[in-house]
Amino acid sequence: NAGVTQTPKFRVLKTGQSMTLLCAQDMNHEYMYWYRQDPGMGLRLIHYSVGEGTTAKGEVPDGYNVSRLKKQNFLLGLESAAPSQTSVYFCASRDRYNEQFFGPGTRLTVL
């Protein structure tokens, strides 16, 4: 039982490049989330999904897109990366008791 996994763990991009972060969970959770964490800013919700095929905007959605084609996967896309998107990205899924389980994070640097 791997819980929540994220790939890649680290990535360096140049401004304007695109990439997709993958999150996978094997706990059969309906709800999944993408956060970013920056020094002094705490965890901020980017997008979330309440089930397969559904997505919704969080607090800081601009510059990101998401897809939830399969229940176990939640993808976060950056179409044209900017230095302001340098951050640590965490994915999480939620059980029916509202406990959220986080992945280990992806450290992204945009030059």
- Number of Cβ within 10 Å of residue 46's Cβ equals 23
Smallest separation (angstroms) from other proteins to the CB of 77: 20
Query: Apex CA 85: angle with CA 81 and CA 91, to 5°?
Result: 105
Contact at 8 Å (CB) between 83 and 15? yes
Smallest separation (angstroms) from other proteins to the CB of 3: 10
C-beta closer to other proteins: residue 17 or 88: 88
The SS3 assignment for 30 reads: coil
Is there binding between residue 61 and other proteins (CB under 8 A)?
Answer: no
Name the one range near other proteins by CB under 8 A: 15-23, 31-39, 64-72, 74-82. Answer: 31-39
Of 21, 2, 1, 3, nearest to 13 (Cα)? 21
Total number of residues binding other proteins (CB under 8 A)? Answer: 22
* Contact positions vs other proteins (CB under 8 A): 31, 33, 35, 40-43, 45, 48, 50, 56, 58, 90, 94, 97-100, 102-105
